[in-house]
Structure 1
Amino acid sequence: MLDALGAGNPSTRLQAALAAGRHADPGLVGELVARCAIEPDFFVRDMLTWALTRLPSEVTVPRLRTELGSECAQARSQALHTLSKIGDGEAWPAITRSLLHDADDEVARSAWRAAVVLVPAGEEKGLAEELAAQLSRGDRKVQLSLSRALVALGDVIEPVLQTALAGDDPAVRAHARATQRLLLDPDAGFDSSVDEAKRIVALGPERIEGAAC
């Protein structure tokens, strides 16, 4: 099984990861986590994560927390993704500000998703502030991930969005307004929300209201 995890054929690696999850041997945790850091195929990585969720959290969580300090971006990202799937609150202290602001977009996106799953009751406001500080970051994919993470926190994000809307940066204001629209209407499309927000920011809310009269 361990040899198959490193096979050249991704189908073979996928079957090996599936077998590891079915076997659920805690002795495999080191090999599975190490493979996550270097596995090039998305579907195999997803199966590796599933295999890790099948193991006792007291075995996997400490190993994954160690991986968060890796210099390898994929190692950090995949460890965060797996922690979000395990959902063990013991991992929350490992979701550091550094990870939430990681220079690598994929790591940051994984950190945002993990954070909103693991955040303890009462600490949502602080998390919302950390996330909102990154409004307008990155491309559409990154901004959508950030908006979804914020919206997952619920109404606690309203004050931080209002602060962003009162700021000087038009890109931040547009992203905040689009996020606010998603909070109020989860079925609203992100692209249309961004376009509408940019139009409002460009014209000013007073002119939009005047045009609607």
Structure 2
Amino acid sequence: MDTTQFTTLITHPDRDVRLRAAMDAGTLHDPHVTAALVARLGVEDDARVRENLTWALVQHGDVAVPAVLALLRSENPLERRQAAHVLSKIGDPSHVPHLLPVVADADPDVAIKAYRAAASTGSPDVVHPLVARLGDGDAGQRDALSNAMQQLGELGVGALVEALGDGDATVRLHAAEALAQIGEDARAATTALAGRVADEDADVALAAVMALGAVGGDDAAAVLGDVVSAGHQPLAAVARRLVNAAA
């Protein structure tokens, strides 16, 4: 398949034809093919074809990156979203300055893809911009951010501990949930989580107890034991289940 054929096939009305063309494009290392793939990202309406476009662009490597980075500045949210998705498969720390604006994007679908792309770089420079999004959006968006923080692991724990002291209960709640998702790698947050067990917001207090169970360790177990002894429900019942599960 030459470049002219590819350009025709990638815009074909039949979704199966486009699907195959995008897959085949991964082996067509031609700048014109790369440009056609990038152009298709913002208009393709089929999820499977978009995923094949993403795969093909990753195969094109450094040749595709400048055009994909440029799409992050597009006024079209679909283009920004798909560009972030492609970059999440590459994980290059040098992309961080380009990704930070879309981490803060007002479009939730763009932001969700940007969270993962930022975390995939493994750069400490993405931690605080990601933590700044704690509490934003619906459950799906919050879960995506927690997943990104889990991917960063210990790198994000310090900033999440700071967020446990935020004046907004929604932020504190999300910080505790993210620490729980990180699990054992977040044991440095044990003392801060223990301080949130008495949070004035019941949901935050419960999330702190759950996070202590997730991070584990002797110190967390001791705090959970104290919660059981205090007898305040429902915290005591939850703490008891966590203690018994760890035994």
TM over 0.5: yes
Aligned counterpart, 2:169: 170
User: Per-residue deviation at 1:200?
Assistant: 4.6
User: Per-residue deviation at 1:110?
Assistant: 1.5
Partners in 1 of 2:36 and 2:83 — Cα distance? 13
1:33 counterpart letter in structure 2: V
Partners in 2 of 1:54 and 1:202 — Cα distance? 47
Partners in 1 of 2:179 and 2:126 — Cα distance? 17
Matched, 1:78 2:77: no
Partners in 2 of 1:172 and 1:92 — Cα distance? 24
Aligned equivalent of 1:113, options 98, 112, 116: 116
User: Per-residue deviation at 1:155?
Assistant: 1.6
- TM-score scaled by structure 2? 0.71
Q: Structure 1 residues 143, 8: CA separation in 2 closer, same or farther (over 3 Å shift)?
A: same
Aligned equivalent of 2:65, options 57, 61, 66: 61
Partners in 2 of 1:144 and 1:84 — Cα distance? 17
Aligned counterpart, 2:36: 31
- TM-score scaled by structure 1? 0.82
User: Per-residue deviation at 1:167?
Assistant: 2.1
- Write out aligned runs for 1:63-212 (5 A): 63-96=67-100, 98-120=101-123, 124=124, 126-184=125-183, 199-201=202-204, 209=227, 210-211=230-231, 212=236
Q: Structure 1 residues 70, 184: CA separation in 2 closer, same or farther (over 3 Å shift)?
A: same
Partners in 1 of 2:16 and 2:158 — Cα distance? 48
CA RMSD of aligned residues (A): 2.6
2:106 counterpart letter in structure 1: A
Task: Give the number of the structure with larger relative contact order, counting CA–CA contacts within 8 Å between residues 6 or more apart.
Answer: 1
1:139 counterpart letter in structure 2: D
Aligned equivalent of 1:4, options 4, 9, 13: 9
1:108 counterpart letter in structure 2: A
Query: In the alignment, is the contact (CA less than 8 A) between 1:92 and 1:119 conserved in 2?
Result: no
Aligned counterpart, 1:193: none
User: Per-residue deviation at 1:165?
Assistant: 1.6
Unmatched 5+ stretches in structure 2: 1-5, 186-198, 210-222, 241-247
User: Per-residue deviation at 1:127?
Assistant: 2.0
Which structure is larger by alpha-carbon Rg, 1 or 2? 2
Partners in 1 of 2:132 and 2:30 — Cα distance? 41
1:151-171 CA distance string (max 9 Å, x none): 211223222222222222222
User: Per-residue deviation at 1:77?
Assistant: 1.1
User: Per-residue deviation at 1:199?
Assistant: 4.8
Moved more, 32-41 or 8-17: 8-17
Question: Aligned to 2:44, what secondary structure does the other structure show?
Answer: coil
User: Per-residue deviation at 1:119?
Assistant: 4.3
Identity %: 35
Aligned counterpart, 2:190: none
